[in-house]
């Protein structure tokens, strides 16, 4: 018999795949969009989970990478649409793989810079300095009028992927779902690798890590950069989903929500972000359907989870995390 | 550029700084004594503003409103401490961030539920209406001067409280060794509740004072909260002196940056570009300052 966690994980993964298929069959495209939203938010949270879950780096500024990813997609697409070259004669593009590559490179470089400064601090200072960097980028985005400022930047059509018609909900869902699975494979490879072992040691006992000859800063910086790259990719997809890059993607509320996703699901668990995103979007949808004030109840639920249910949804369903 | 305009902007910066100090003092006190990071501090600011606006419009007296803001915020703070924060002392910062983030959602949506999304308005009391002439010509709003005065009074009051009273002695003792002070027979739980309520009252006071300058609405606490965190981190978490220096620094930097940067850039760039770049840069300025300070002093200016 397979372990309970594997069972729960399989059910979650199949459930997310089944909902849109059924929705298409009964002609309810809204649920495809809802599932796509889950997949993208889960992808962003998988990214954060690498830093937060494995490395214990409580980044309160991951919205920065989410938003940069989104703005990259929107800016490249706008330039391609208006046939304006970006700079140095470079053209914009509407091809998703290129957009992802650019978004990931930019997020990686930003994370390298932010991480180099932020990782000198720890604890509350780290939480606050990552928040400060994200705020810096947020205020830059809303006060820079060239790309929409406070209004955000919309995409006239969804970007393209070779051989798929991404304008339709289901093919776009499949793209997002595949990226989510790829990111989860990456997460599990990292967790099982020597690098992952070093990273988890950095969370538990930095001195010991340094004593065996590994520089904790390098390990944490690498994790922070990988984490930002994955979240940035999710941001690019999110802008494509809504056909809109909004400054709210960069706001500190978004950073908080990403942390909430990881914790609701179970931090450091492979399927935690997916469980968290499913739960979150379900709350948003069902509570949001009953009352406009759904965030009030979300707050109560979240408070309950933090105070009484340690380990999140996966902890509840699959028991404590097993090691080894 | 006239000296009067410059002086006016300096005073505005000072007023923002003083208001940030009222917020940051509570945050840094709570962090220093109890080790708790409280994102819901902005909600207490909002509660103070709402209490003041409601009581002032019901009774017609701003001063009663001000008292109401202190009482309401302190009471809300004490309740939060007993119901939620008390369970977070032994938890890591991640849990504290999340639980208090949840409190923000509850308070923001809760008050939107009760008061609606429309802003309330609070009038400046008649005694403090009007303006004062500045040296070099120009006028300055009397009420803003009064806020600066209140800030200075609160800062000195806090200094007296912490360095010269028995309560202050216990607070300082709680900062350095909480097990020891509990072993000496001080009711540490009651002390924590008092400290939290005190910080909350200061936030409520700030909210009420600013409520008369801006409108009183849901979500008004969030931008201030983030600025207050910047102040606390720049000053060094747990240090009241750091909070004061950080608050004045952030207040002046933000105000003067917005005022001077576009003008300075206009000397070397075309006017439209200078306005755009200057504006964008000015809104990022304090965060840049914070990153720089933390890069060189990872525990802030006056770390304990």
> Chain A: nearest CA to B96, how far in angstroms?
9
> Chain B: nearest CA to A58, how far in angstroms?
7
The rounded percent of chain A whose pLDDT value lies above 90 is 50
**8 Å CB contact of A143 and B112:** no
Helix B271-296 with B240-266: angle, nearest 10 deg: 150
From B226, B233, B291, residue closest to A133, measured CB to CB: B291
From B37, B87, B298, residue closest to A121, measured CB to CB: B298
| Domain assignments of chain B as residue spans, ordered by start | 3-220
Q: Under the phi-then-psi rule, with left for phi > 0, alpha for psi from -120 to 50, and beta for the rest, what region is A321? A: beta
Instruction: Give the residue numbers in A contacting B (CB under 8 Å), as ranges.
Output: 52, 58, 60, 117-118, 120-121, 123-125, 127-129, 131-133, 135-136, 139-140, 142-145, 252, 256, 259-260, 263, 267, 293, 295-296, 298-300, 302-303, 306-307
**8 Å CB contact of B37 and A127:** yes
Shortest CA distance from B285: residue in chain A:
A136
**8 Å CB contact of A139 and B287:** yes
From B31, B102, B290, residue closest to A303, measured CB to CB: B102
As a whole number, mean pLDDT of residues A125-150 equals 87
Q: How many other β-carbons are positioned within 10 Å of the β-carbon of residue B27? A: 27
Quote the CA–CA distance of B271 and B174 in Å, as a whole number: 55
Cβ contacts (< 8 Å) between B93 and chain A: which residues? Answer: 58, 123-124, 127
Q: How many other β-carbons are positioned within 10 Å of the β-carbon of residue A293? A: 17
Banded pLDDT at A324 (limits 50, 70, 90): very low
Shortest CA distance from A140: residue in chain B:
B280
> Chain B: nearest CA to A308, how far in angstroms?
10
Beta bridge partners of B216: B120
As a whole number, mean pLDDT of residues A4-23 equals 88
Beta bridge partners of A59: none
Q: Tens digit of pLDDT for each residue in B109-131?
A: 888 888 887 888 888 888 888 88
**8 Å CB contact of B101 and A259:** yes
**Interface residue of B284, B286, B289 to substitute, partner A, most A CBs within 10 Å:** B284
Of these ranges, A94-98, A227-231, B187-191, the one predicted with the greatest mean pLDDT is A227-231
Tokens of A277: 């995103």
Q: Is the pLDDT of residue B22 over 70?
A: yes
Residues in CB range of A164: below 8 A, 6 or more apart? A171, A172, A174, A175
In Å, how far are A220, A256, A271, A298, B160 from A265, measured between CA atoms?
23, 14, 7, 14, 47
Q: Tens digit of pLDDT for each residue in B242-285?
A: 999 999 999 999 999 888 888 888 888 887 777 788 888 888 88
Of A5, A56, A16, A294, nearest to A174 by C-alpha is: A16
As a whole number, mean pLDDT of residues A27-35 equals 90
The rounded percent of chain A whose pLDDT value lies above 70 is 98
The helix/strand/coil state of A154 is strand
Tokens of B212: 């008369």
**8 Å CB contact of B283 and A140:** yes
Cβ contacts (< 8 Å) between A309 and chain B: which residues? Answer: none
So what's the ipTM on this one? 0.85
As a whole number, mean pLDDT of residues A253-279 equals 91
Q: Tens digit of pLDDT for each residue in A152-202?
A: 888 888 888 888 888 888 999 999 999 999 999 999 999 999 999 999 999
- The answer to whether residue B263 neighbours chain A at the CB level (below 8 Å) is no
From B97, B105, B237, residue closest to A60, measured CB to CB: B97
3-state SS string over chain B?
A: CCHHHHHHHHHHHHHHHHHHHHHHHHHHHHHHHHCCCCCCHHHHHHHHHHHHHHHHHHHCCHHHHHHHHHHHHHHHHHHHHHHCHHHHCCCCHHHHHHHHHHHHHHHHHHHHHHHCCCCECCCCCHHHCCEEECCCCCEEEHHHHHHHHHHHHHHHHHHHHHHHCHHHHHHHHHHHCHHHHHHCCCCHHHHHHHHHHHHHHHHHHHHHHHHCCCCECCCCHHHHHHHHHHHHHHHCCCCHHHHHHHHHHHHHHHHHHHHHHHHHHHCCCCHHHHHHHHHHHHHHHHHHHHHHHHHHCCCCCCCC
Q: Is the pLDDT of residue B203 over 90?
A: yes
| Domain assignments of chain A as residue spans, ordered by start | 4-194+226-318
Q: Which of residues 62-81 of B touch A (CB under 8 A)?
A: none
Cβ contacts (< 8 Å) between A267 and chain B: which residues? Answer: 94
Shortest CA distance from A56: residue in chain B:
B94
What number of CA atoms fall less than 13 Å from residue A277's CA on the CB side? Answer: 29
pLDDT of B125: 83
**8 Å CB contact of B287 and A143:** no
Quote the CA–CA distance of A41 and A101 in Å, as a whole number: 19
Q: Is the pLDDT of residue A267 over 80?
A: yes
Return mean pLDDT, chain B.
Answer: 87
Q: Tens digit of pLDDT for each residue in A44-81?
A: 999 999 999 999 999 999 999 999 999 999 999 988 88
Q: Is the pLDDT of residue A323 over 70?
A: no
Quote the CA–CA distance of B14 and B255 in Å, as a whole number: 9
A153-154 vs B131-133, strand pairing mode: unpaired
**8 Å CB contact of A131 and B98:** no
Cβ contacts (< 8 Å) between A60 and chain B: which residues? Answer: 97
Continuous segment of H or E residues that includes residue A83 = none
Q: Tens digit of pLDDT for each residue in A284-318?
A: 888 888 877 888 888 998 898 888 887 778 888 87
What number of CA atoms fall less than 13 Å from residue A236's CA on the CB side? Answer: 31
Q: How many other β-carbons are positioned within 10 Å of the β-carbon of residue A258? A: 29
B131-133 vs B139-141, strand pairing mode: antiparallel
Cβ contacts (< 8 Å) between A259 and chain B: which residues? Answer: 94, 97-98, 101
Q: Is A25 exposed, middle or buried (0-12, 13-18, 19+ CB in 10 A)?
A: exposed
Quote the CA–CA distance of A170 and B109 in Å, as a whole number: 35
pLDDT of B179: 81
As a whole number, mean pLDDT of residues B228-245 equals 89
Q: Is the pLDDT of residue B74 over 90?
A: yes
Q: Is the pLDDT of residue A1 over 70?
A: no
Q: What share of chain A is helix, strand, coil (3-state, %, to 5)?
A: 75, 0, 20
Shortest CA distance from B111: residue in chain A:
A296
A227 and A60 in contact (C-beta within 8 Å)?
no
B25 and B171 in contact (C-beta within 8 Å)?
no
């Amino acid at each position: 018999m397979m372990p309970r966690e594997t069972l729960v994980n399989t059910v979650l993964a199949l459930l997310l795949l089944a909902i849109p298929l059924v929705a298409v069959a009964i002609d309810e495209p809204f649920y495809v969009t809802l599932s796509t939203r889950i997949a993208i938010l889960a992808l962003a949270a998988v990214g954060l989970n690498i830093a937060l879950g494995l490395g214990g780096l409580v980044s309160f500024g991951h919205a920065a990478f989410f938003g940069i990813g989104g703005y990259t997609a929107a800016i490249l697409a706008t330039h391609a649409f208006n046939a304006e070259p970006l700079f140095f004669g470079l053209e914009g593009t509407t091809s998703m793989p290129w957009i992802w590559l650019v978004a990931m490179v930019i997020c990686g470089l930003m994370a390298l810079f932010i991480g180099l400064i932020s990782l000198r601090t720890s604890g509350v200072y780290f939480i606050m300095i990552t928040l400060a960097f994200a705020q810096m980028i947020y205020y830059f985005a809303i006060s820079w009028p060239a790309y929409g400022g406070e209004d955000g930047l919309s995409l006239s059509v969804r970007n393209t992927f070779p051989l798929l018609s991404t304008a339709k909900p289901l093919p776009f869902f499949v793209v997002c779902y595949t990226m989510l699975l790829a990111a989860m494979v990456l997460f599990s490879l990292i967790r099982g690798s020597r690098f992952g072992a070093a990273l988890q040691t950095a969370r538990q006992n930095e001195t010991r890590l340094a004593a065996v000859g590994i520089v904790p800063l390098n390990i944490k910086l690498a994790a922070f950069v990988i984490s930002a790259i994955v979240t940035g990719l999710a941001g690019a997809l999110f802008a494509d989903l809504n056909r809109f890059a909004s400054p709210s993607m960069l706001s500190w509320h978004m950073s908080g929500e990403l942390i909430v996703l990881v914790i609701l699901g179970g931090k450091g668990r492979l399927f935690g972000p997916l469980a968290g995103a499913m739960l979150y979007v379900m709350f948003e949808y069902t509570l949001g359907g009953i009352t406009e004030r759904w965030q009030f109840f979300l707050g109560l639920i979240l408070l309950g989870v933090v105070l009484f249910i340690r380990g999140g949804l996966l902890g509840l369903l699959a028991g404590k995390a097993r090691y080894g | 550029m006239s000296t009067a305009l410059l002086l006016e902007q300096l005073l505005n910066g000072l007023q923002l700084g003083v208001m940030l100090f009222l917020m940051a003092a509570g945050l840094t006190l709570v962090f220093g004594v109890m080790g708790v990071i409280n994102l819901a501090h902005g909600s207490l600011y909002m509660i103070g503003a709402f209490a003041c606006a409601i009581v002032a419009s019901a009774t017609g007296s701003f001063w009663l409103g001000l008292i109401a803001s202190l009482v309401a915020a302190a009471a809300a703070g004490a309740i939060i401490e007993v119901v939620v924060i008390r369970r977070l002392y032994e938890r890591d910062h991640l849990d504290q961030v999340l639980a208090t983030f949840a409190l923000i959602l509850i308070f923001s949506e809760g008050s939107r539920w009760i008061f609606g999304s429309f802003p309330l308005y609070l009038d400046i009391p008649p005694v403090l209406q009007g303006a004062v002439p500045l040296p070099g010509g120009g006028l300055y709003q009397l009420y803003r001067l009064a806020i600066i005065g209140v800030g200075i009074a609160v800062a000195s009051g806090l200094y007296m409280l912490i360095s010269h009273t028995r309560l202050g002695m216990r607070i300082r003792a709680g900062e350095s060794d909480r097990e020891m002070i509990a072993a000496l027979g001080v009711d540490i739980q009651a002390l924590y509740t008092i400290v939290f309520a005190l910080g909350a009252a200061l936030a409520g006071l700030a909210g009420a004072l600013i409520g008369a300058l801006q409108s009183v609405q849901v979500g008004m606490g969030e931008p201030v909260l983030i600025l207050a965190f910047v102040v606390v981190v720049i000053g060094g978490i747990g240090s009241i002196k750091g909070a004061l220096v950080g608050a004045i620094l952030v207040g002046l930097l933000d105000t003067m940056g917005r005022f001077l940067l576009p003008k300075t850039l206009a000397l070397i760039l075309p006017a439209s570009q200078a306005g755009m770049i200057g504006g964008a840069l000015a809104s990022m300025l304090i965060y840049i300052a914070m990153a720089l300070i933390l890069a060189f002093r990872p525990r802030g200016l006056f770390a304990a």
